[in-house]
Amino acid sequence: MDKQPHLYDQMNDRAREVFRRIVEGYLETGEPVGSRTLTRTFSEQISAATIRNVMQDLEFLGLLNSPHVSAGRIPTELGLRMFVDGVLEVDSLGREDRDALDRTVNDGDVGTILDRIGGALSGMTQGASLVLAPKQSAPIKHIEFVSLAPDRALVVLVFADGEVENRVFTPPPGQTPSSMREAANFLNTVAEGRTLDSLQSAVAAEIEKRRREIDSLAAEMVESGLVTWSQEGSRHERLIVRGRSNLLEKTEEADLDRIKTLFDDLERKRDIAEFLELAEEGQGVRIFIGSENKLFSLSGSSLVVSPYMNADRKVIGAVGVIGPTRLNYGRIVPIVNYTAELVGRALTDRT
């Protein structure tokens, strides 16, 4: 990666200009750019044969690729990386985009704000947005179980800071309203004042200590509810995905299965740790193109991601946009950067 800007510096002015115009044309249209098209855009008289020679040289360097015989050229992942590192001009964040993002944090609890942020990011970038919510560390105030059906129940978790978490889960067979009340009463005596991080071990110890004091169904209910909270995707860490359809609509049919696999993995929250790791590896916005990105490489997509921090400058979550490699990087980078700063400030103000 370090060699790519150096390679760009070694190219002559004509090669740089041809390279830049091919990448910009591809990012705008998604189509290969041919020598005849480039000839018409140059102010100076340059023959199509001369431009073809330059394109061949760039292809030899691994920066361009020809998807079809006798077709124009498109940038390779290496070429896109060089463009992003050495050529890309990042736009200023537009007032309309800034105002739209600002409105998402006007009111509401943390979960509502992050959901709004995800929707706004997806809408303005026409990609899929990813928002990794912070771990919930506020003390627990109250717990309640609500029966929805014989095989479905709702757990309501109220935190001392006013946050409320509702999750549907499958209770053990044979639960009754009275066993649910008993389980909730038991949990409330143990959970009040504790965070989720410390609750599970405390409850396990209490269940062992007081197992004879509660009937077996209530004990199973307690354990089942705790499993729900400790699973990936609970308040411990939550990945919010918005705009899945945006990415699917812009993807070639041959790649749809891979894209669907990507989102299935995201929805199962398998790669949350890796997502945050990508964001934490460096401050500010980072761009991962295709196979550079160990999280999304199978989909052939690009990820623009930035961590957000609390008042102590500690990374507590991340926001990002995923889309095809021909993303409008110049526009999306400032959007992701501002969003990360906005979320960090908003969450700090609410703690």
pLDDT tens, the chain, 351 aa long = 344 556 777 788 889 999 999 999 999 888 899 888 888 877 677 888 888 899 999 999 999 998 876 678 999 999 999 999 888 888 899 999 999 999 998 887 777 888 899 999 999 998 888 888 876 667 888 888 888 888 888 888 888 877 777 777 778 777 888 888 888 888 888 777 787 667 766 777 766 666 555 555 565 655 665 555 444 444 445 677 788 777 767 666 656 676 776 676 666 555 555 666 666 665 689 898 988 876 666 667 888 999 898 887 888 888 999 888 888 999 999 999 999 999 999 887 765
What's the half-sphere exposure (Cβ side, CA atoms, 13 Å) at 110? 26
Amino acid 232: pLDDT: 40
**300: three-class secondary structure by DSSP:** coil
Between vectors from CA 23 to CA 98 and to CA 96, what angle results, nearest 5°?
10
Tokens 């599970």 locate to: 200
Tokens 């945006």 locate to: 246
Measured between alpha carbons, how far is 345 from 35 in angstroms, rounded to an integer? 49
Measured between alpha carbons, how far is 63 from 277 in angstroms, rounded to an integer? 28
Amino acid 231: pLDDT: 44
Domain ranges of the chain: 3-86, 95-135+237-349, 140-230
**252: three-class secondary structure by DSSP:** coil
Measured between alpha carbons, how far is 278 from 259 in angstroms, rounded to an integer? 19
149 forms beta bridges with: 152
Residue 288 one-letter amino acid: F
Amino acid 117: pLDDT: 93
- CA torsion 26-29-34-35 (nearest 10°) is -80
Q: Give Cβ neighbours of residue 59 (< 8 Å, ≥ 6 apart).
A: 65, 66, 73
Fold of 3-86: Arc Repressor Mutant, subunit A (1.10.10)
Fold of 95-135+237-349: Beta-Lactamase (3.30.450)
Measured between alpha carbons, how far is 339 from 284 in angstroms, rounded to an integer? 11
Measured between alpha carbons, how far is 217 from 166 in angstroms, rounded to an integer? 22
Fold of 140-230: Enolase-like; domain 1 (3.30.390)
The H or E element spanning position 65 is: strand 64-65
pTM over 0.85: no
* Fold: same for 95-135+237-349 and 140-230: no
Ordered DSSP codes for 265-290: HHHTTTTHHHHHHHHHTSSS-EEEEG
